[in-house]
Structure 1
């Protein structure tokens, strides 16, 4: 399959009929032939977007021009199982700095992998990344390729938020000396904010903002409350949406609504509600295997006002949630007929949703409501 833009983008209209709230959804295939694409970031002034491929390539895409060759200068990644080149986010001052933040995985001499966060400067022609700096490595690195997490978001104050999975070592999510199973908060230059909750706690990593998360696959700024929200995989059931607040413990593995993969109780779990831990804003009894997430705050489609969209890998659809303050309810499932794993979803500057499918022949989709 050609990696160039399809000669004629395919537009189809789907009718999702789970309930009476479903709308006619338009889906346009903008790009095919992507190698397990993981994240998308929009360049300013309608200049296109950056797309990561888990195998290690960062690419530039623009309407009418298609997909670039891999951008030069991207760090070498360890691309096994869930590892590889993962998230991409533009710095808030990108127009001046041209700074692009990335997350990826590296492997140590013992064959253990961990997530890495860094940034580089994108050339004016979008062809090269220079002055790449590693900001933070997940320590200890414990993963054999699972539960790496690794998403980035900026808040309205310029702080950068990073998710780190538990590396499939659940007990470390409760260990403040480890960067596994944590939500991290840094200054825009990569330094540690002095008002982080564990800055002065002996034996604790000062980067940590919140603890007790399992495998966070999505993170986004709520545009109405200006709080960061996070979505994560549970084990067998118990996928969650959380609002990670300062110093709070989100429970894993002490508190979970899921079961172990064996069908038995998760080792160390004390149930769904445990004193000293926070409840999720929303959770699923059966895991959709949720992934990237995006709030919808555009006027283009008023029917989507106050919505949160989250991709699903196992159930292969786009989950539409309604948000009212901290209250979340599921509204509908979209794109189910396509049968494609949804890895990322972002709201574009034009008010459409842009979706990446996690396939060997991955796609970039433009999703809206039929007008």
Structure 2
């Protein structure tokens, strides 16, 4: 695995057009069949943007808006046009004394959430205000995948399948647990867990060719990772890591160990990745097939060219654009970027 620094960008001739302005922390976004958008604001607002008008959706669950907590990701059921189900993640205070990541599904009727069902909630609540994870994705078989970060409990949660946090989870679309999940039948195990040993995954997608679930996750100081999720696999946190503590001390001297997965890529220094998308449309022929990831720390959009699951090129796009919270390819083939303090922007050529 070769570390490389991003180039300034031979494609730095990109700019943006504002689609939705005046957003604070736009965390998740989806595109509805009628061309409108739903955008989650971390402060707990769900915005329906249609024909240039922002409408606040009613009946959104109360969120624990503190630190990294709030209203987080949003995703549509693959058969949304048939069943109308919308899936969301947020920091839930249910249970008292802090919060934990919850997953709900609901329907949208006249700009109000109805038929709300809680599908999963991490437990027990903790009073730390970070590492909620919270990205959501469906695979080709219709299974619901989502991430929950280790909630700041590095030495307790990620390696323990009897505890929530530091995991990728898989459910049926109704919240039931698939019978072939890897830890079904193990006494005390959280049977929704699909993989473990994660830190704080805030990027998740389905690979457009293989159908595999890919995630990227925040490391500490250094050691952000891109991982391909495998059933029952252990991704090592915090036993192995390419990062160190924020005070520059080490918490492990291991970067590998038998029985633990290696990332296909890691960032040193950390870029604080959030949101990711593969470019599959013909709108950006020079980017087609590449992976885009947002950088919160360095405030740019990163392009990664990947061959045989190895990163061969890193490139900065939209340098100093702001804290890129999310990036998605829309049904129109355009790339949309959520930037904190700005809004939703569309990637265009200058």
TM-score by length of 1: 0.89
Equivalent-residue separation in structure 2 for 1:331 and 1:214 (angstroms): 23
Shift of residue 324, structure 1, vs aligned partner: 2.1
Unaligned residue ranges in structure 1 (runs of 5+): 1-16
Q: Are 1:138 and 1:180, in contact at CA under 8 Å, matched by a contact in 2?
A: yes
Alignment partner, residue 171 of structure 2: 186
Please give the residue correspondences for 1:55-94 in structure 2 after superposition, counting only pairs within 5 Å. Answer: 55-62=43-50, 64-68=51-55, 70-94=56-80
Aligned match for 1:207, one of 183, 189, 192: 192
Q: Are 1:140 and 1:180, in contact at CA under 8 Å, matched by a contact in 2?
A: no
Whether 2:93 is the aligned partner of 1:104: answer no
CA deviation vs aligned residue, 1:204-257 (integer Å, no higher than 9, x gap): 111010000001111000001110000110001100110110110000000100
Unaligned residue ranges in structure 2 (runs of 5+): 1-5
Aligned match for 1:159, one of 118, 143, 162: 143
CA deviation vs aligned residue, 1:238-284 (integer Å, no higher than 9, x gap): 00110110110000000100001121112xx3411122110001001
Alignment partner, residue 31 of structure 2: 42
Aligned match for 2:330, one of 331, 348, 370: 348
Q: Are 1:292 and 1:311, in contact at CA under 8 Å, matched by a contact in 2?
A: yes
CA deviation vs aligned residue, 1:311-348 (integer Å, no higher than 9, x gap): 1101101110112232223431111133x100000001
CA deviation vs aligned residue, 1:38-91 (integer Å, no higher than 9, x gap): 11101114x2110000000111113x42311x1011111111110000001011
Alignment partner, residue 169 of structure 1: 153
Alignment partner, residue 122 of structure 1: 108
Equivalent-residue separation in structure 1 for 2:9 and 2:215 (angstroms): 28
Aligned length: 344
Equivalent-residue separation in structure 2 for 1:109 and 1:216 (angstroms): 24
Shift of residue 93, structure 1, vs aligned partner: 1.4
Equivalent-residue separation in structure 2 for 1:49 and 1:147 (angstroms): 26
Q: Are 1:225 and 1:325, in contact at CA under 8 Å, matched by a contact in 2?
A: no
Please give the residue correspondences for 1:1-371 in structure 2 after superposition, counting only pairs within 5 Å. Answer: 18-19=7-8, 21-45=10-34, 47-62=35-50, 64-68=51-55, 70-107=56-93, 111-123=97-109, 125=110, 127-171=111-155, 172-266=157-251, 269-338=252-321, 340-359=322-341, 362-370=342-350
SS in 1 for 2:82: helix
Equivalent-residue separation in structure 2 for 1:366 and 1:348 (angstroms): 10
RCO comparison, higher one (Cα < 8 Å, 6+): 2
Shift of residue 113, structure 1, vs aligned partner: 1.6
SS in 2 for 1:265: coil
Q: Are 1:117 and 1:135, in contact at CA under 8 Å, matched by a contact in 2?
A: yes
SS in 2 for 1:95: helix
Distance 1:166 1:302, change over 3 A: same
Aligned-residue CA RMSD (Å):
1.6
Distance 1:245 1:82, change over 3 A: same
Shift of residue 352, structure 1, vs aligned partner: 1.2
Equivalent-residue separation in structure 1 for 2:133 and 2:163 (angstroms): 15
Equivalent-residue separation in structure 2 for 1:316 and 1:106 (angstroms): 28
Equivalent-residue separation in structure 2 for 1:148 and 1:366 (angstroms): 27
Shift of residue 23, structure 1, vs aligned partner: 4.8
Q: Are 1:94 and 1:100, in contact at CA under 8 Å, matched by a contact in 2?
A: yes
Equivalent-residue separation in structure 2 for 1:115 and 1:208 (angstroms): 14
